Structure 1
Amino acid sequence: MKILSLFFALFLTACNSVYLKPNTMEPNSMVYASRGGNTMTRGIKEKLEERGFTVNVGNLKDESSIDVDKFTIPKNTKYVVRVSEQAETFMPYWCIFNGFWWWRFNVSIADQKTGEEILSWRGRGCQNSSLRKLDRFLDELEIKE
């Protein structure tokens, strides 16, 4: 039983990998986010708006570009958020007190002007704990005044 517990604990530590550059995100800036996505994408947009960022959701350039993502990014955009995620899984036995949904995702936030990536996060986790981690990462990213 101890070996199984140890294996399980090691397995959980491999669920997230994060690179972030602290004190680099200016508060109340314009953020561009692509359209669509599952729940993690919506969660990030809501968290950024709660913190005072203006979130601009992508628009297609024309009707012929629906098959290929050709988004127009406004000139006043300071940061670009990209999220790729797999469909969430209902996990009532694992995430019972943590949102019931298991998310698998990759999140990237980059400075639009310099192209520098300030957050790269590959994660797996329950819904509420993933949003709490996102909150902590945004706390570290925001410039302290």
Structure 2
Amino acid sequence: EKGLERLLLAMENLERISPSPSGTVDTSQLEANCREAMNDDLNTPLLIALLFEQVKIINQLLEGAVSIDATHLENLKRVFRIYGQDILGLKAEKAGRTEDRLPALVELVLQLRQEARQRKDFASSDRIRDTLLKLGIEIKDTKQGTEWRLL
């Protein structure tokens, strides 16, 4: 389970990495090695080992210990997309978790807005409404309470 978490975290972190003009990381053989593992009677243990080697590199990239150019970074992302997500079924749950949490977060913010309105702090109430609108969340005050929807 910890291994799975490491792979998923690496996939999320991969999106935060920016390419350098020149890099020290070479991923030119990575895709061929992964393809070879799959052609070897679907050798998923080897494929997973290859991906874990890249997890180390991703962590080094985040720490600034090594650098990667745009071509090799795109290759690394493609390998994780094809072999990590499509073949092994690893999905970074970040988006799903965010969507699952969004209603609770909006309800919390609306509760804070309601408390501000009860204190007659309309400036704060308006600021919350305006900020939510800028974030793509429209709120509407009704007799039954505050309703919201995504724009």
Into which bin does the TM-score normalised by the smaller protein fall? under 0.3
Give the TM-score of the pair, scaled to structure 2. 0.23
Greater helix share, structure number: 2
Between Structure 1 and Structure 2, whose CA radius of gyration is higher? 2
Give the TM-score of the pair, scaled to structure 1. 0.23
* Structure with higher RCO (Cα < 8 A, 6+ apart): 1
Greater strand share, structure number: 1
